[in-house]
């Protein structure tokens, strides 16, 4: 029964998120109210807030990025944290997003870009992600070094993400965008590992 209950809860969560995404894409984030989303998803407002505590969390569902701290903390023995992060993002770049999912993702990106409130909320998510990574790294490198490393890693990954979406939104071929992302991942982690001298030495 517990398994069935959890599946039903996840189905409800996904239904609410899908309804919200569609409404935001059609009318914009600011023009849609939580009451309208709850009604369209056929749930009570209290139920909606049980799954998504804020309207912003509805729009950013699944957009918060990877848990960098967990990737580093759970890496195999003998693997450096940069090797773990590179392997993870190399695998992401090699994956293919189905066309239907890609269009839905781009619609959400447009909604975020068009809303200052969502941009601010997304920045908050990235900051918390960076802070969590710094806490894990601090165990081996100390607080100041860890904070500096986490900031560089987060900025690099954000740039990869922004460049990826800019290419897709610009109408570039999905295969070309995926190929460029794979190359960018290698460049980003080469720079993180070897520094700016890596570029000068090319």
76 and 54 inside one domain:
no
Rounded to an integer, what distance in angstroms lies between the CA atom of residue 21 and that of residue 42? 15
- Secondary structure (DSSP) of 25-60: HHH-TTT--HHHHHHHHTS-HHHHHHH-SSHHHHHT
184 and 109 inside one domain:
yes
Q: Which domain holds residue 27?
A: 2-59
54 and 149 inside one domain:
no
122 and 181 inside one domain:
yes
78 and 163 inside one domain:
yes
The pLDDT score that the predictor gives to residue 63 is: 65
86 and 131 inside one domain:
yes
Residues 149, 191: contact at Cβ < 8 Å? no
118 and 41 inside one domain:
no
Which phi and psi (to 5°) does residue 97 adopt? -90, 125
The pLDDT score that the predictor gives to residue 38 is: 96
Beta carbons within 10 angstroms of residue 171's beta carbon:
7
The pLDDT score that the predictor gives to residue 70 is: 95
User: What does the longest C-alpha to C-alpha distance in the chain come to?
Assistant: 61
Residues 135, 128: contact at Cβ < 8 Å? no
Total of domains in the chain: 2
pLDDT in tens, the chain (202 residues): 667 788 898 999 999 999 999 999 999 999 999 999 999 999 999 999 999 999 998 988 766 567 899 999 999 999 999 999 999 999 999 987 777 778 888 888 899 999 999 999 989 889 999 999 999 999 999 999 999 999 999 999 999 999 999 998 998 988 899 999 999 999 999 999 998 776 555 5
CB under 8 Å to 25, separation ≥6 — which residues?
Answer: 107, 108, 110, 111
Out of 16, 34, 59, pick the residue that ends a domain: 59
């Amino acid at each position: 029964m517990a398994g069935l209950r959890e599946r039903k809860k996840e189905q409800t969560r996904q239904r609410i998120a899908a309804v919200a995404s569609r409404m935001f894409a059609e009318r914009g984030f600011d023009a849609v109210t939580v009451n309208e989303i709850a009604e369209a998803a056929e749930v009570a407002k209290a139920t909606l807030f049980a799954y998504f505590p804020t309207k912003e969390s509805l729009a950013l569902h699944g957009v918060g990025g990877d848990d960098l701290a967990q990737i580093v903390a759970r890496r195999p023995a003998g693997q450096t944290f940069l090797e773990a992060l590179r392997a993870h993002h190399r695998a992401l770049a090699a994956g293919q997003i189905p066309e239907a999912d890609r269009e839905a993702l781009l619609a959400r990106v447009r909604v975020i870009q068009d809303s200052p409130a969502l941009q601010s909320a997304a920045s908050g998510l990235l900051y918390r992600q960076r802070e969590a990574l710094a806490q894990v790294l601090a165990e081996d490198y100390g607080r100041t070094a860890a904070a500096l490393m986490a900031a560089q890693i987060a900025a690099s990954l954000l740039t990869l993400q922004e460049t990826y979406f800019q290419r897709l939104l610009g109408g570039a071929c999905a295969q070309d965008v995926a190929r460029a992302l794979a190359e960018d991942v290698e460049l980003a982690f080469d720079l993180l590992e070897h520094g700016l001298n890596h570029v000068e030495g090319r």
